[in-house]
């Protein structure tokens, strides 16, 4: 009986600690080029289920290359997300953006309603973008940084250098407008291989200005095809305040094909890009509760053996 009692004594503090860790687990921001996400894709139940599994991992998920002018495809995804994990999801979307009627794409942010709120949105209209950024300001009490701005970009590959450099002008405009320099850029920048070379970086202010940190490295492969190995999709943050609010080394590619054990052909049916992600730290108030919690767990164990 003593062995069983000791086991229960060990189980109790471990359970308490695991529940606490679940509470303070980080806040995940993701970006996914869903390559022509239409009602047709959303109507495929197998694909919709996989999209749901991918997006449900994130507190905020930016979807690029959405073609859904009447909103039915995103509505189907939101409904499936709510059924999947019994959480409420909302979305905020740009209008169709592009140079031609046959290629009008939307930026769509999907987010958990209980953990984050939209506090502002702004459609940039300046040059040199084919699909100008649709900028959204978020607030959350689940993160170490309570309010931040997300600036998305799906660049035209033929002018990727100019468009990535143009993000600096977007940053100046929106950070001044909202008096907030806690800014993250994310999306499919085409920032690799032949589109953006090492010598091009001198012409990109997000590279030359040391206040910007690139969280997805040049050696990452954000593409699904075996014939490509390119870091097209990127996450960039401005300033030390935002950088310190991010869990170290959490900027990465999510290979859901490997994670979900899907063949490459099935992954390619969804997109030729993998999602990328980064995790924000939890608020300091919760993290400061760690020492008392550890003391409580130790006390329980000691009492069990007295």
Residue 97's domain is classified under what CATH number?
3.60.10.10
* 6 and 17 housed in the same domain: yes
Do residues 162 and 36 both lie within one domain? yes
The residue ranges of the chain whose pLDDT is under 50 are 1-8, 10-24, 285-291, 293-298, 300-302
pLDDT, tens digit, 9 for 90 and up, residues 79-116: 999 999 889 999 999 999 999 988 999 999 999 999 99
Same domain, 256 and 296: no
Alpha-carbon gap, residue 51 to 84, rounded angstroms: 11
Residues 83 and 198 in one domain: yes
Same domain, 298 and 208: no
Phi, psi of 34 (to 5 degrees): -90, 5
**Residue 174 belongs to a domain:** yes
Question: What is the per-residue pLDDT for 8?
Answer: 43
100 and 12 in one domain?
no
Please report the pLDDT score of residue 85 as a whole number: 87
The whole-number pLDDT of residue 26 equals 86
Residue 286 lies in a domain: no
Answer yes or no: do 120 and 219 share one domain. Answer: yes
Asked if residues 148 and 182 have their Cβ atoms less than 8 Å apart, the reply is yes
Quick one: 277 and 150 in the same domain?
yes
Q: Would 19 be classed as within a structural domain?
A: yes
Q: Do 303 and 235 fall within a single domain?
A: no
20 and 50 assigned to the same domain: no
Query: CA–CA distance from 23 to each of 60, 115, 195, 249, 288 (Å)?
Result: 17, 12, 42, 21, 13
21 assigned to some structural domain: yes
Q: Residue 230 and residue 188: Cα distance in Å, rounded?
A: 11
Q: Which domain holds residue 5?
A: 1-25+291-306
Q: Is residue 245 part of a domain?
A: yes
pLDDT at 102: 87
| Residue 56 placed within a domain | yes
d(CA 286, CA 283): 6
In a domain, 211, yes or no: yes
The predicted pLDDT at position 299 comes to 57
- Domain match, 151 and 117 both: yes
Q: How many domains does the chain have?
A: 2
Domain assignment present for residue 228? The answer is: yes
The token pair that represents 56 in the structure block? 């449900």
- Note whether 38 and 67 are same-domain residues: yes
Residues 6+ apart with CB under 8 A from 303: 9
């Amino acid at each position: 009986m003593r062995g069983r009692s000791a086991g229960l004594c060990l189980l109790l503090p471990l359970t308490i600690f695991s529940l606490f860790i679940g509470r303070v687990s980080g806040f995940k921001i993701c970006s996914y080029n869903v390559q022509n996400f239409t009602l047709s894709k959303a109507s495929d139940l197998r694909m919709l289920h996989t999209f749901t599994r991918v997006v449900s991992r994130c507190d905020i998920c930016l979807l690029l290359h959405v073609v859904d002018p009447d909103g039915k495809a995103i509505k189907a995804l939101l409904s499936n997300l709510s059924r999947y994990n019994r959480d409420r999801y909302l979305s905020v979307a740009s209008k169709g953006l592009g140079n031609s009627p046959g290629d009008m794409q939307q930026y769509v942010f999907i987010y958990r309603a209980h953990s984050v709120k939209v506090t502002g949105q702004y459609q940039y209209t300046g040059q040199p973008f084919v699909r100008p950024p649709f900028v959204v300001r978020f607030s959350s009490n689940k993160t170490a940084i309570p309010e931040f701005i997300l600036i998305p970009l799906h660049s035209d590959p033929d002018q990727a250098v100019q468009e990535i450099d143009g993000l600096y002008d977007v940053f100046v405009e929106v950070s001044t407008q909202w008096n907030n320099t806690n800014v993250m850029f994310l999306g499919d920048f085409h920032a690799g291989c032949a589109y953006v070379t090492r010598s091009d970086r001198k012409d990109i202010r997000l590279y030359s200005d040391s206040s910007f940190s690139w969280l997805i490295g040049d050696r990452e492969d954000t593409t699904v095809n075996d014939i490509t190995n390119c870091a097209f999709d990127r996450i960039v943050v401005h300033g030390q305040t935002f950088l310190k609010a991010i869990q170290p080394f959490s900027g990465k590619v999510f290979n859901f094909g490997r994670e979900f054990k899907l063949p490459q052909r099935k992954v390619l049916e969804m997109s030729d890009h993998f999602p990328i992600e980064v995790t924000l730290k939890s608020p300091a108030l919760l993290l400061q509760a760690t020492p008392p919690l550890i003391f409580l767990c130790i006390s329980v164990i000691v009492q069990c053996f007295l």
